Amino acid sequence: IPYCTGDVHTGNAAATYADPDMQDPDLEYQHAGHNNMMAVTDWLDWRFPEIPEMFLTGCSAGGAGSLVNYYFLRSQLNVTGRGYLLNDSGPIFPSELHSGPLHSKIRESWSLDSILMLLPEFAELQDDFGTINTLIADEFPEDRLAITYFIRDYNYSRYSYENFYDNLSKDDVHALWWDDTQLLMDLYDGRDNLAYYLPYYRFFNDSHCSTLITYLGSEIPESDMTMGGFVDELFSDEPLMSYLGGP
């Protein structure tokens, strides 16, 4: 699916953005990601009337898009077997610590309540966007759902915090990211069908996207695990395991 819609493959609003420097004309933007995804879903349903297994993945904003659209694709397509998810570097963290301001901003700008109300447990999602992780796990208990990203990501992490907190250094951004990561790990550790693969650092692309270009550099040596090995585990019938890398 074309990357990127400008609104993480979701959103249901028309918005006008003014240039803060008043140099350029206002930008009118259609946050139509949800309708676009529903059109894709309708086409897939027509093209593939029966799907033995479904695998949904994406990188960065596409990773977040894979998570927020999983429920709609999984429930509207005729998937006769198991579903799989690998969200690569688009985490939706719990809102309670540092991601709350970002969640509030996109909720308003993209009119997300009009989409969230279509999901089970709408009230819980209103309070904390991060519960979408466990909501999907509980809704589809036989599916296998995973996330991967780097602990030292300095791309998506900056997007998550820099516009909402003043004068952040690189170390500050990493500290906020690690706090939110610990909350997310706690969520995942509470479900047998959720797993994470979190390597520490890679030398290119600001440690952003574990599966981009190559798996090389995304190993977790202390667990003797590789990105490819984790993907194999995801598609196996063995119990899901999570992995955390260190410096």
Domain ranges of the chain: 13-196
- What integer pLDDT is reported at residue 8 of this predicted model? 76
Q: Distance between CA 14 and CA 7 in Å, rounded? A: 12
Q: What's the mean pLDDT in 108-131?
A: 87
- What integer pLDDT is reported at residue 80 of this predicted model? 97
- What integer pLDDT is reported at residue 21 of this predicted model? 87
Is residue 133 a contact partner of residue 184, using CB atoms and an 8 Å limit? Answer: yes
Is residue 152 a contact partner of residue 200, using CB atoms and an 8 Å limit? Answer: yes
Among 16-20, 185-189, 202-206, 239-243, the minimum mean pLDDT is found in: 16-20
Is residue 99 a contact partner of residue 180, using CB atoms and an 8 Å limit? Answer: yes
109 has a pLDDT exceeding 80? yes
Is residue 66 a contact partner of residue 87, using CB atoms and an 8 Å limit? Answer: yes
Match 């074309």 to its residue by tokens.
2
Averaged pLDDT score across all residues of the chain: 93
pTM, two decimals, is: 0.94
Q: What's the mean pLDDT in 117-130?
A: 85
% of residues, the chain, pLDDT over 70: 98
pLDDT band at 116 (very low <50, low <70, confident <90, very high): confident
- What integer pLDDT is reported at residue 16 of this predicted model? 86
6 has a pLDDT exceeding 80? no
- What integer pLDDT is reported at residue 4 of this predicted model? 57
5 has a pLDDT exceeding 60? no
**DSSP string for 82-142:** -EEEEEES-----IIIIIHHHHHHHHHHTTTHHHHTTSTTHHHHHH-GGGHHHHHHHHSTT
Is residue 132 a contact partner of residue 125, using CB atoms and an 8 Å limit? Answer: yes
Pairing of strands 83-88, 54-59: parallel
- List pLDDT tens digits, range 192-243: 999 999 999 999 999 999 999 999 999 999 999 999 999 999 999 999 999 9
Q: What's the mean pLDDT in 173-177?
A: 98
The residue among 1 and 31 whose pLDDT is bigger is 31
